[in-house]
Structure 1
């Protein structure tokens, strides 16, 4: 993300979410939990959200080999893949499955969504689609494209926001509130492909460690009263990023975890 623009929106979100009309809140300590939730094993602690470098390890190989030969590695060759578990890979500090991230009014059932998209404002992290591989976007390394699949919906990530409605089987509810735990959010299939095009890239050395701080994909939570409620399915992430980073619980990145050779 480009912090200069996001910071203003985040500060705005603090005032918006603090209003008395808000139905959902971000949960950062156990005082927001009822006795029933605590007895059921749910917990809470502070979490900072999807800042540029607050990402975990998706489980890709540490070294990814890219050949200049279009015969040996033709366009569309799968270079590496991994399954990112939201609990352990979406942030630098893992979540526990029963860590509550949001609390909403009981009446909000049916209005709660996981939102997901690529990093649509970054040329090397999700802004530009490549026609060589379905659902893939140019990445920071030359001749590489990345594709992410939401493993709950089976849909590819896109720079245009997609949504998944959360249901009662993914949350805890007492007589007043709905509690959204970290286990409610989706894992990702993260794939890297060889492509012929060199239209967008930043790295081109014989060996490059990925120190690009821009995550490739994001997960946000949308509920009544939160600034993220303004994110709508189909909107372009390049200009619609309400609530980043503090109200987005996760991001997918290869920052400091892979080296290209």
Structure 2
């Protein structure tokens, strides 16, 4: 129930031992074998520290990144998926609505949470004969009622969704390497393009494992459990896991995992040989409050042409964005009352920059002390030679106070520095409440101008970008 905006502007035209054998024969010296030996064992081993003994299966070359790691504990992955989900009632928020979504790499999914692994950290070392036998396995938490046991796809209408502890919310996890939804039945993807050490052994590093997307959807017809609890996610169980399987012979790390096996009773190896937990606990905040929905917004903001000289002298072009909203001023049952603001349980509005555009602005240093960015840059900024540089769109309230662009609509309670503003700032009611709803109109100004402070020269070119008006309980 958000709306998209399109911004456009076009500038006016201007212009790596036979020698050993020989030495032994000639000198008749008996060389102790241990001085020259290296490990001849086969299989895979978990690496938790640096070991310089070349006879050891745990040997690590100088410069290797290795340290103690625990694995996929119940508290693993803390901070990897910061998000707030808002549960409401149909039809105001239709069943099937995506409530929150986030993607995290393996470096953030271990026992220590965000940054717990280095991308180059060696988690497993496998003998040369292990080629083709090293896999990443993944499945939901199949032995837990509220974290991957019950598939509710039939009720939700959304593939591979699972029951959660919270009434009205179902979860889904996707392996971003394979594009497959994670299910209760183990799936696997080969670990390829692995680094090799000086002894020819494979090094399975944190960077070799997949990124995982965790999503939550609304489903009011799905099983009912706790329909009142709010705040930090209370169920301390991951909704899915990433595990390692590897080794052709000798020490094989596998447990009883196999493709298609039910994670309900196939979980040998947990948690030490499983690197990651995909986990709402320590990440997700749940809200149940009356709120607003965007019903309409100015579809296109088409700035008039402006010459480079004028931009360099501080010139700009400004146009209004008109936003129409409906707010639940009479709260439905089981919801907290509506309030406009940026504090917990209040409703705020923001304008979301697309990921690529937000990254461009971040690369240019156009950031805030939070997660927001101060300018919306053109599609293709820095890569498309036809895109104008040194310029962007800035936001402000009618009184001139600057607003920032959101870069993540699921990160809340950060206020202006993240791109949020109380939803009813500068808004006018369009009449009395009707059916428990009140309609409002709000205006935000969009200004096309050169960056301030100046970080790059202004160049001629086109400007096209799309942003989304978002309303969310904080």
TM-score (norm 2): 0.47
3-state DSSP class of the match of 2:107?
Answer: helix
In the alignment, which residue of structure 2 is the partner of 1:11?
A: none
Q: Which structure has greater helix proportion? A: 1
3-state DSSP class of the match of 1:30?
Answer: coil
3-state DSSP class of the match of 1:124?
Answer: helix
Are the equivalent residues in 2 in contact too, given 1:56–1:252 (CA < 8 A)?
no
Separation of aligned partners in 1, 2:82 and 2:103: 8
Separation of aligned partners in 1, 2:60 and 2:283: 39
In the alignment, which residue of structure 2 is the partner of 1:156?
A: 181
Partner residue of 1:214 out of 237, 242, 250: 237
Are the equivalent residues in 2 in contact too, given 1:216–1:253 (CA < 8 A)?
yes
Are the equivalent residues in 1 in contact too, given 2:75–2:282 (CA < 8 A)?
no
* 1:175-221 C-alpha deviation (Å, 9 max, x unpaired): 331111111100011111001224254x3215242121111110000
* 1:118-169 C-alpha deviation (Å, 9 max, x unpaired): 00011100111112211211111111111111010000000000000111x1
Separation of aligned partners in 1, 2:110 and 2:104: 7
Matched, 1:185 2:209: yes
Separation of aligned partners in 1, 2:268 and 2:253: 6
**Number of matched pairs:** 234
Separation of aligned partners in 2, 1:82 and 1:21: 41
Runs of 4+ that moved beyond 6 A: none
In the alignment, which residue of structure 2 is the partner of 1:65?
A: 86
The within-5 A match list for 1:70-219 is 70-93=90-113, 94-131=116-153, 132=156, 133-167=158-192, 169-199=193-223, 201=225, 203-219=226-242
Are the equivalent residues in 2 in contact too, given 1:57–1:254 (CA < 8 A)?
no
Are the equivalent residues in 1 in contact too, given 2:152–2:222 (CA < 8 A)?
no
Separation of aligned partners in 2, 1:244 and 1:124: 19
Partner residue of 2:276 out of 235, 250, 255: 250
TM-score (norm 1): 0.84
Matched, 1:54 2:76: yes
TM-aligned CA distance change 1:186 to 1:46, over 3 Å: same
In the alignment, which residue of structure 1 is the partner of 2:67?
A: 45
3-state DSSP class of the match of 2:215?
Answer: strand
- Unpaired segments ≥5 residues, structure 1: 1-19
Are the equivalent residues in 2 in contact too, given 1:103–1:178 (CA < 8 A)?
yes
Separation of aligned partners in 2, 1:157 and 1:90: 18
For the aligned residues, what is the CA RMSD? 1.9
Are the equivalent residues in 2 in contact too, given 1:219–1:248 (CA < 8 A)?
yes
TM-aligned CA distance change 1:128 to 1:247, over 3 Å: same
Whose Rg is larger? 2
Cα displacement (A) at 1:22: 5.6
